[in-house]
Structure 1
Amino acid sequence: MEKLLLLHGALGCHTNFNELKTALSEHYDVYCLDFYGHGSEAFSTEPFKIEGFSEQVFNWLEENNLDAVSIFGYSMGGYVALHLAAKHPEKVKRIFTLATKFDWNEASAEKETKLLDPDKIEAKVPMFANELSERHGEHLWKNVLRKTAEMMLALGQQKALSEEDLSQIEIPVLVSVGDRDPMVSLEETASVRKQLKNAALLVLPNTVHPLEKIPVARLVFECRQFFG
């Protein structure tokens, strides 16, 4: 069967894909991993960087003797997948990105990092704080938030993927976005589709940003349509 790797988003980990992985396993050999500093890989002194996560995926593929895989990348995971394809094209067959933010600049980075204050989250959204604590560890989840904020601010200064990088990716890519996503715009997603050589655009109706709010059956359908 086709080998399919699922890459999680910022603040996430592989357990975000539990239901989707189970459903997709009927049709694909499905793999997941945690980016360093997240979930089971929670402790790390390294700064969070798209380039670092991309190299981690490359090394993971090498260690697991996987020549090439297709990738479903949610949010940040889609950005990492495209970076991997730009730097190590032999390792990636197809990429399906969902809710991936591409338009990083100082203003967008500042807007997003305002939502990542651990003390405010703990005070105003305790259920989310508890979820992050269970996901990354009681003493580490705040560190994950801070490092993610630092990464976003760095992306606001310099994107990890240039237009030239995107234009060199030749594999089939499906970039998708929800029509009600407050973080990722249709315009930025469509712009990246135009920069890629072999890409299509999918707009999911009545869909917001969080992965858990998207029906698993719909994601499975779209994956099967694209990956075959």
Structure 2
Amino acid sequence: MSKPNLIILHGALGSEKQFFNLQSELSSEFQVHTFNFSGHGGKDFSNNFSIPQFTLELDQFLSENKLQDVLIFGYSMGGYVALNLARTSKKISGVFTLGTKFHWSPESAAHEIKMLNPAKIEEKVPAFATALAERHFPLDWKEVMHRTADLMINLGNNPLLTTNTFKEITIPVTITRGTLDNMVSKEESESAAHDIPNAKYIEFADFKHPIEQVDINKLAAKIRQELIN
């Protein structure tokens, strides 16, 4: 019996490399696929840097690899992209998100982009600046950050996942967040799970938002539990 296909999607400012350990942990149960959205992990920028563009790239990845009945683990922005495609695609059979922000407004976007200041990051957290430079080479990580800020502003002005559009998602969905996640609230996560017809909400005790600070063994165990029927 063939293993189910699982795609792992990275978050904003991220890359597939951050998930190779999770991929390895899940490889015995799933045929695991990863890829970079354009403008991430050294992959060239496309003409558009947006959730609709990344949704298109995910759909193209499914088509190019002839993938059907796909399960998706989406971290942060990756979860948003996965659910956006699940509104219309028949190729996805289940989605598991971690740390995905659902409440987007001009105010929430303005709050988030305060954190996206390359000059301050170089000054205050040089190790993070170095990590971003290595992660996105040969792209300029500062350009990636500027475009991410613009993406958030656009999403704040025009959120794609709302009470109405959540109803278009009919597949099983598991929405999770860490209790110590300072970017994503329990309220917005529970609200999304309530609005998606076949969704549940789960909390991970003591998980913070950065994927590097997540217990991969605990995460992998919960993914197995929720996505293997």
After TM superposition, the score normalised by the length of structure 1 is: 0.96
2:37 is the alignment partner of 1:6? no
Counterpart AA for 1:76: M
Counterpart in 1 of 2:223?
223
- Preserved contact between residue 47 and residue 151 of structure 1 (Cα < 8 Å): no
User: 2 CA distance for matches of 1:210 and 1:169?
Assistant: 27
Counterpart in 2 of 1:193?
193
Q: How big is each residue's C-alpha offset from its partner over 1:1-55, in whole Å with a ceiling of 9 and x where there is no partner?
A: 01000000000000010110111001110000100110131x2152321111011
Counterpart in 2 of 1:204?
204
What pairs with 1:82-97 in structure 2 (closer than 5 Å)?
82-88=83-89, 90-97=90-97
Q: Which runs of 5+ in 1 are unaligned?
A: none
User: 2 CA distance for matches of 1:123 and 1:209?
Assistant: 22
2:122 is the alignment partner of 1:122? yes
User: 2 CA distance for matches of 1:23 and 1:139?
Assistant: 29
Mean CA deviation greater in 157-166 or 30-39: 157-166
Counterpart in 1 of 2:214?
214
- Preserved contact between residue 47 and residue 147 of structure 1 (Cα < 8 Å): no
Counterpart in 2 of 1:31?
33
Counterpart AA for 1:65: K
User: 2 CA distance for matches of 1:194 and 1:164?
Assistant: 12
- Preserved contact between residue 38 and residue 46 of structure 2 (Cα < 8 Å): no
1:139 offset after TM fit, Å? Answer: 4.8
Q: Which runs of 5+ in 2 are unaligned?
A: none
Counterpart AA for 1:116: L
Q: CA RMSD in A?
A: 1.0
- Preserved contact between residue 181 and residue 208 of structure 1 (Cα < 8 Å): yes
Q: Secondary structure at the match of 1:70?
A: strand
Counterpart AA for 1:59: Q
1:216 offset after TM fit, Å? Answer: 1.1
Counterpart in 2 of 1:101?
101
Q: Secondary structure at the match of 1:95?
A: strand
What pairs with 1:52-201 in structure 2 (closer than 5 Å)?
52-88=53-89, 90-137=90-137, 139-201=139-201
User: 2 CA distance for matches of 1:28 and 1:6?
Assistant: 11
User: 2 CA distance for matches of 1:138 and 1:120?
Assistant: 22
Q: Percent identity?
A: 41
User: 2 CA distance for matches of 1:33 and 1:45?
Assistant: 15
Q: Would the alpha carbon gap of residues 134 and 198 (structure 1) be closer, same or farther in structure 2, given more than 3 Å must change?
A: same
After TM superposition, the score normalised by the length of structure 2 is: 0.96
User: 2 CA distance for matches of 1:139 and 1:58?
Assistant: 24
Q: How big is each residue's C-alpha offset from its partner over 1:34-90, in whole Å with a ceiling of 9 and x where there is no partner?
A: 00110131x2152321111011010111111112310000000000000010021x1
1:109 offset after TM fit, Å? Answer: 0.5
1:120 offset after TM fit, Å? Answer: 1.2
User: 2 CA distance for matches of 1:53 and 1:179?
Assistant: 28
User: 2 CA distance for matches of 1:129 and 1:141?
Assistant: 8
User: 2 CA distance for matches of 1:68 and 1:37?
Assistant: 27
Counterpart AA for 2:4: E
Q: How big is each residue's C-alpha offset from its partner over 1:160-205, in whole Å with a ceiling of 9 and x where there is no partner?
A: 2232221111100000011111000000000000100000110111
User: 2 CA distance for matches of 1:164 and 1:15?
Assistant: 34
1:210 offset after TM fit, Å? Answer: 0.8
